[in-house]
């Protein structure tokens, strides 16, 4: 009985601190960075949740970091949905964002700002800009009233996505350069 009550109290506490669109809008308005880290399974989702991250992205990079492919191309929507379900069970507090697998949509760099504005007009609370040239990401960020989250899109987005496995230094594949800096800072901090 005591164990059940403890679990219920933790679930209620997590729900009370749940990140909302309003939370992100407030951070964006105050100029505070929005944190976004990937998770692909239940254990990584639990870590992201307990770290207080704002947004949890289930990225198509799961093809590489979980399934061992050289690219993101082999991942399917069905596989992505299964990973999203697992992450949702492990991370009830942050907002959950799921990637559409590469090839589900196409866009040219010249259309990024117009597309982002259309997404804002359609009611999106945020736009993820992935592998977009820095000047285009800067233009989109300044044109929008909603936050932009970048991954490989330069420093002018409202927030950045980091891959969980890169932050922990777990893989040999090329990774985001700043992830190494965060890993080094964490190691120094722990002594």
CA–CA distance from 88 to each of 58, 142, 177 (Å)?
10, 31, 28
The DSSP H or E segment spanning 13 is helix 2-16
* 130 is annotated as an active-site residue: yes
Residues contacting residue 19 through CB under 8 Å, at least 6 positions apart? 54, 55, 93, 94, 95
In whole angstroms, give the CA distance from residue 158 to residue 73: 27
The DSSP H or E segment spanning 55 is strand 55-58
Asked if 42 and 87 touch (Cβ cutoff 8 Å), the reply is yes
What token pair was written down for 38?
Answer: 């990937």
The one catalytic residue among 12, 82, 106, 130: 130
Number of other CB atoms surrounding residue 37 within 10 Å: 24
The DSSP H or E segment spanning 29 is helix 21-30
Asked if 28 and 34 touch (Cβ cutoff 8 Å), the reply is yes
Which active-site residues does the annotation give? 130
């Amino acid at each position: 009985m005591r164990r059940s009550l403890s679990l219920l109290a933790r679930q209620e506490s997590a729900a009370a601190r749940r990140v909302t669109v309003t939370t992100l809008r407030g951070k964006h308005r105050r100029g505070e960075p929005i944190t976004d880290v990937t998770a692909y399974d239940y254990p990584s989702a639990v870590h992201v949740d307990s770290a207080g991250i704002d947004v949890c992205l289930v990225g198509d990079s799961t093809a590489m970091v979980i399934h061992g492919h050289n690219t993101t191309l082999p991942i399917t929507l069905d596989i992505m949905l299964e990973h999203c379900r697992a992450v949702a069970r492990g991370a009830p507090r942050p907002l959950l964002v799921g990637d559409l697998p590469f090839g589900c949509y196409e866009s040219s760099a010249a259309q990024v700002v117009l597309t982002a504005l259309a997404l804002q007009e359609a009611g999106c609370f945020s736009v993820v800009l992935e592998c977009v040239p820095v000047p285009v990401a800067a233009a989109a960020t300044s044109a929008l009233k909603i936050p932009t989250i970048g991954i490989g899109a330069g420093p002018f987005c409202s927030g950045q996505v980091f891959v969980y496995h890169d932050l922990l230094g777990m893989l040999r594949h090329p990774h985001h350069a700043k992830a190494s800096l965060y890993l080094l800072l964490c190691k120094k901090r722990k002594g």
